[in-house]
Structure 1
Amino acid sequence: MSAAPSPALPDERLAAGAARLTARHAGRFSAETVQVLLTDSYRRLAETASVSTHLVVLAERLTAERLGALAHVQGVPGSGLPRVLFVCSHNAGRSQLAAALLEHRAAGRVTVSSAGTHPGPEIGPYIAQALSEAGTDQAGAFPKPLTDEVVRAADIVITMGCGDACPIVPGRRYLDWPVADPDGVPIEVVRQIRDDIDTRVTDLLAGLPST
């Protein structure tokens, strides 16, 4: 009996991304696994996206992150950096600030992810401005849904206002940062929130093991 065909991709333009990801993970994940995750990522992003123009590119990026997390969970060599996951409700404000600042300050020492329990359509403009002023790289940042692979791969999960929807996985180190919500506030307040998060990020990084 022949193997069942892979499910059709929801957008034919995803085929090129599926081929790239399959080649990158050759010997690690099958083409079918890559395609299933890519399809799921695309559909999740499409549920909340305000503009569909970049969905194909963003779905490939999200799938790449999910595959990296899955490799870490499975103990693939070379995937052993400490992993920190920031979670808030919409992944458009606090968790984006925290992830970008930790990525900037860690300089490759940490694998950083962020996600939302109910991801918004886009990152707030004042969030992007505050991060640009801090010298962080926001290229390619976008609100992402919380996925099982990324949660299970995290060594530290830091929650920021997602309440009962925050993920719980036994054995993880959990921190809750009571940071003010930057949604709808002036840029001056967003800068204060950014600086509060930056202080917490600096303290967190100081306590992580050296690599």
Structure 2
Amino acid sequence: MSDKPSVLFVCVHNAGRSQMAAGWLRHLAGDAVEVRSAGSEPANQINPAAVEAMQEVDIDITGHAPKLLEYGTVESSDVIITMGCGDVCPVFPGKRYEDWKLEDPAGKGVKAVRPIRDEIRDRIDKLVGELIPDRA
């Protein structure tokens, strides 16, 4: 892993869970971590309920769009966190992989997305502590 680790969040549509995770990591780690997200079948837009839930905690994810998962992005990432992408995510030796079992926010309102957002935040906080152990 380089001085600045890169983390890739992957879910099918790259519209909810992975976008919220990327938003939290950018917020909590600042520029100490390179943040990436992608999907195996990206949606046309970020889930509006995910956008609203993140805005409630003063994190704006509207400047990001769902992106297609590319082989090179996985290969050049240090940590790959999957969130329901199944077996479409390529596996490279020496990479750190985690599979986070999280409820899919697709089709849900903001009230149902809040607990997902909060669970992601807890996981991201732990991840930041592992990647940047000397953070204040």
Q: Could you tell me the TM-score, scaled by structure 1's length? A: 0.60
Do the aligned partners of 2:51 and 2:62 also contact (CA within 8 Å) in 1?
no
Matched, 1:201 2:124: yes
Match of 1:156 among 67, 79, 98: 79
Could you say what the CA RMSD is over the residues aligned between the two structures, in angstroms? 1.7
Matched, 1:115 2:25: no
Q: Which has the higher contact order (CA 8 A, sep 6+)?
A: 2
Cα offset, 1:140, TM superposition: 1.9
Matches within 5 A, 1:21-60: none
Q: 2:43 is matched by which residue type in structure 1?
A: G
Moved over 2 A (4+): none
Cα offset, 1:186, TM superposition: 2.1
Q: Distance in 1 between matches of 2:88 and 2:125?
A: 26
Match of 2:10 among 87, 111, 119: 87
Matches within 5 A, 1:164-203: 164-203=87-126
Greater helix share, 1 or 2? 1
Q: Secondary structure of the equivalent of 1:207?
A: helix
Q: 1:130 is matched by which residue type in structure 2?
A: A
Q: Secondary structure of the equivalent of 1:123?
A: coil
Aligned counterpart, 1:98? 21
Cα offset, 1:126, TM superposition: 0.6
Cα offset, 1:108, TM superposition: 1.2
The number of aligned residues is 134
Do the aligned partners of 1:90 and 1:143 also contact (CA within 8 Å) in 2?
yes
Q: 1:83 is matched by which residue type in structure 2?
A: S
Q: Which has the larger radius of gyration?
A: 1
Aligned counterpart, 2:67? 144
Q: Distance in 2 between matches of 1:165 and 1:149?
A: 14
Q: Distance in 2 between matches of 1:101 and 1:206?
A: 13
Query: Which whole-Å deviations, capped at 9, do the CAs of 1:141-191 have from their partners, x for residues lacking one?
Result: 100011122111111000000112122112110001001000111211101
Q: Secondary structure of the equivalent of 2:98?
A: strand
Q: Could you tell me the TM-score, scaled by structure 2's length? A: 0.92
Do the aligned partners of 1:104 and 1:137 also contact (CA within 8 Å) in 2?
no
Long gaps (5+) in structure 1: 1-78
